[in-house]
């Protein structure tokens, strides 16, 4: 693999830290850069990984395991490392995790930067439900949240080319039938959540997501039905009617949202517009454009605030994807202006932006794209945090403990 001389063309980590000193914590900046560039592990770093105490991903052909996530010393999570372990980045070298004096450290260009911890394995993981299902197949974990994914297929892909261009989610189920969920599955969900929350202090929230399901009497009705049953199942493990949770799902209409709110313990809702630019939305998300449209998606976000309240509705974006070529912004300055203007509009309606750092993942249409500079991502995180503060929005459903994927929301700790 060869890399261009990108280091000479972009501000370095230390230059970006200096530029945003006093505005953006250096650990948030480091997290962004690691998310942007990915990581690779030395053999010594992987020797520190112990599957009996750490949460691991199955490894490559050599059957090695990899950490499911890293934690920085301020508690910030670096998530979604599942897509980063293969050094897929083609424009910049990934960071290295190496062993230094028996501890794991992030290293770049020969410089030792920060100690990282491997995410702990949750107590429920090796257990079975009463039907014999491994609980590890029912729920996953990120930061301090339990995640359940009842649908393993996104039906935007049913029409070739209609999925989102940055996405490789559900790639293995494209062209196949999705799994049907029965009563046994919902009992398994209940038992897994019940078992998980026995571990004191480990979990702060419950998270549910799937790909989009378009079928039903009205668009997305079957998706709503599946979530209602799954949240009700999880809810039987809690003593209260409502519990800290967020659903990341399609853009439902108000009737569907009200049903979710009335019939389940849900407290927060996220629906991903992905890119805050109408023209780019129709290029990057053709399926979402065909069925709902950019303005329709925005409208449904706004209506969701009537149901869930200000701050309890977030809009997910894949930050940086607005610079994808050939149709995206070639100027980072213009891209930033556009994204922050749209974010400000949503913020005034009580909606927070949950940005994920775009990395050009394998099996996505954008696999060979070049992602933006670190400076861009940090400016965006700073701008989004300012919009959130200006509108007095909390981020309790999506902060560093309850998700850990969104740099602007990591900064809620210093608001
Ligand atoms: S990002 Fe788009 S294509 Fe991927 S799972 Fe979500 S809706 Fe489907």
pLDDT score recorded for residue 394: 87
pLDDT score recorded for residue 170: 65
Query: Does 377 sit in the ligand 1 pocket, CB within 6 Å?
Result: no
Confidence tier at 314 by pLDDT (50, 70, 90)? very high
Domain end, chosen from 118, 135, 167, is at 118
Least confidently predicted of 68-82, 91-105, 247-261, 267-281: 68-82
pLDDT score recorded for residue 363: 83
pLDDT score recorded for residue 216: 96
pLDDT score recorded for residue 219: 98
Residue 297 and residue 216 share a domain:
yes
CA of 163 to the centre of ligand 1 (A): 6
Least confidently predicted of 169-173, 204-208, 211-215, 320-324: 169-173
The verdict on pTM exceeding 0.85 is: yes
Is the model's pLDDT at 234 over the cut of 80?
yes
Confidence tier at 71 by pLDDT (50, 70, 90)? very high
Is the model's pLDDT at 224 over the cut of 90?
yes
Residue 1 domain-assigned? no
Structural domain tally of the chain?
Answer: 2
Better-predicted residue by pLDDT, 177 or 252: 252
Residue 88 and residue 47 share a domain:
yes
Least confidently predicted of 161-165, 288-292, 319-323: 161-165
- Cβ neighbors of 321 (< 8 A, separation 6 or more) are 165, 166, 274, 275, 280, 284, 328, 358, 366
User: Tens digits of per-residue pLDDT, 154-204?
Assistant: 999 999 899 999 998 766 666 667 788 999 999 999 999 999 999 999 999
Query: Does 289 sit in the ligand 1 pocket, CB within 6 Å?
Result: no
Residue 139 tokens read as: 């729920």
Residue 190 and residue 41 share a domain:
no
Ligand 1 nearest-atom number relative to CA 285: 2
Residue 381 and residue 329 share a domain:
yes
Nearest CA to ligand 1 atom 4: 167
CA of 200 to the centre of ligand 1 (A): 34
pLDDT score recorded for residue 4: 66
| Partner residues linked to 208 by β-bridges | 148, 247
Query: Does 284 sit in the ligand 1 pocket, CB within 6 Å?
Result: no
Is the model's pLDDT at 80 over the cut of 80?
no
The average pLDDT across 380-406 equals: 91
Q: Which of 139, 263, 156 is nearest to 194 (CA)?
A: 139
Residue 207 and residue 98 share a domain:
no
Ligand 1 nearest-atom number relative to CA 167: 4
Better-predicted residue by pLDDT, 5 or 372: 372
Is the model's pLDDT at 331 over the cut of 90?
yes
CA of 10 to the centre of ligand 1 (A): 30
Domain end, chosen from 118, 151, 176, is at 118
pLDDT score recorded for residue 129: 98
pLDDT score recorded for residue 402: 85
What is the percentage of the chain residues whose pLDDT exceeds 70? 93
Q: Which of 25, 27, 32, 71 is nearest to 380 (CA)?
A: 32
Residue 93 and residue 174 share a domain:
no
pLDDT score recorded for residue 1: 46
Query: Does 150 sit in the ligand 1 pocket, CB within 6 Å?
Result: no
The average pLDDT across 258-270 equals: 97
Whether 339 and 276 have beta carbons less than 8 Å apart is answered as yes
Ligand 1 nearest-atom number relative to CA 157: 3
Whether 192 and 232 have beta carbons less than 8 Å apart is answered as no
Is the model's pLDDT at 83 over the cut of 50?
no
How many CA atoms does the CB half-sphere of 283 hold within 13 Å? Answer: 16
> How is residue 392 annotated by DSSP?
T
Q: First CA to last CA across the chain, in angstroms?
A: 42
Q: Which of 28, 7, 9 is nearest to 379 (CA)?
A: 28
Domain end, chosen from 62, 87, 118, is at 118
Domain range for 14 is 6-118
Residue 252 and residue 394 share a domain:
yes
pLDDT score recorded for residue 361: 83
Task: Give residue 22's region: left, alpha or beta (phi > 0; psi -120 to 50).
Answer: left
Query: Does 169 sit in the ligand 1 pocket, CB within 6 Å?
Result: yes
Query: Does 297 sit in the ligand 1 pocket, CB within 6 Å?
Result: no
Residue 101 and residue 160 share a domain:
no
Residue 254 and residue 362 share a domain:
yes
pLDDT score recorded for residue 152: 86
Residue 384 and residue 364 share a domain:
yes
Least confidently predicted of 94-103, 297-306, 398-407: 398-407
Confidence tier at 404 by pLDDT (50, 70, 90)? confident
The mean pLDDT of the chain is 92
Nearest CA to ligand 1 atom 6: 211
Query: Does 151 sit in the ligand 1 pocket, CB within 6 Å?
Result: no
Query: Does 212 sit in the ligand 1 pocket, CB within 6 Å?
Result: yes
Residue 89 domain-assigned? yes
Is the model's pLDDT at 76 over the cut of 70?
yes
Residue 169 and residue 306 share a domain:
yes
Ligand 1 nearest-atom number relative to CA 155: 8
Choosing from 162, 170, 275, 282 the residue with most ligand 1 atoms within 8 A of its CB, the one to mutate for a pocket test is: 170
Whether 292 and 218 have beta carbons less than 8 Å apart is answered as no
Is the model's pLDDT at 59 over the cut of 70?
no
pLDDT score recorded for residue 169: 75
Question: Could you give the C-alpha distances from 328 to 16, 163, 276, 279, in angstroms and in order?
Answer: 24, 17, 11, 9
The average pLDDT across 18-43 equals: 94
Query: Does 154 sit in the ligand 1 pocket, CB within 6 Å?
Result: yes
Residue 130 and residue 91 share a domain:
no
Query: Does 164 sit in the ligand 1 pocket, CB within 6 Å?
Result: yes
Query: Does 40 sit in the ligand 1 pocket, CB within 6 Å?
Result: no
């Amino acid at each position: 693999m060869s890399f261009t001389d990108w280091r000479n063309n972009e501000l370095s980590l230390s230059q970006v830290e200096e530029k945003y000193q006093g505005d953006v914590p250096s650990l948030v900046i480091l997290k962004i850069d690691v998310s942007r560039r990915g990581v690779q592990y030395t053999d010594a770093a992987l020797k520190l990984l112990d599957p009996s105490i750490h949460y691991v991903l199955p490894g490559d052909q050599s059957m090695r395991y990899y950490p499911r996530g890293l934690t920085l010393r301020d508690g910030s999570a670096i998530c979604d490392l599942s897509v980063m372990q293969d050094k897929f980045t083609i424009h910049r070298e990934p960071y290295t995790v190496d062993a230094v004096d028996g501890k794991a450290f992030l290293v770049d260009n020969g410089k030792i930067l920060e100690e990282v911890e491997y995410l702990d394995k949750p107590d429920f993981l090796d257990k079975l439900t009463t039907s014999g299902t491994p609980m590890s197949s029912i729920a996953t974990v990120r930061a301090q949240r339990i995640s359940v994914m009842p649908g393993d297929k996104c039906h935007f892909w049913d029409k070739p080319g209609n999925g989102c261009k940055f996405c490789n989610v559900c790639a293995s189920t494209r062209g196949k039938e999705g799994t049907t969920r029965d009563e046994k599955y919902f009992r398994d969900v209940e038992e897994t959540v019940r078992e998980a929350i026995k571990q004191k202090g480990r979990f702060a929230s419950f998270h549910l997501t799937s790909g989009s399901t378009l079928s039903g009497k009205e668009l997305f009705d079957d998706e709503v039905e599946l979530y209602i049953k799954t949240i009700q199942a999880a809810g039987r493990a809690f003593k209260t009617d409502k519990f800290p949770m967020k659903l990341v799902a399609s853009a439902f209409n108000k009737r569907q949202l009200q049903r979710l709110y009335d019939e389940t313990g849900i407290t927060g809702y996220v629906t991903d517009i992905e890119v805050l630019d109408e023209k780019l939305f129709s290029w990057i998300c053709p399926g979402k454009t065909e069925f709902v449209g950019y303005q329709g998606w925005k409208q449904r976000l706004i209506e969701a605030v009537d149901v869930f309240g200000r701050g309890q509705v977030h809009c997910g974006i894949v930050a940086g994807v607005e610079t994808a070529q050939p149709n995206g912004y070639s100027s980072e300055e213009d891209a930033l202006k556009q994204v922050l203007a749209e974010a400000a509009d949503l913020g005034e309606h009580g909606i927070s932006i949950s940005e994920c750092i775009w990395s050009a993942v394998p099996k996505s249409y954008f696999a060979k794209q070049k992602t933006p500079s670190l400076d861009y991502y940090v400016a965006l995180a700073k701008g989004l945090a300012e919009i959130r503060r200006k509108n007095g929005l909390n981020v309790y459903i999506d902060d560093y403990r309850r998700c850990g994927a969104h740099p602007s929301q990591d900064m809620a700790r210093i608001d």
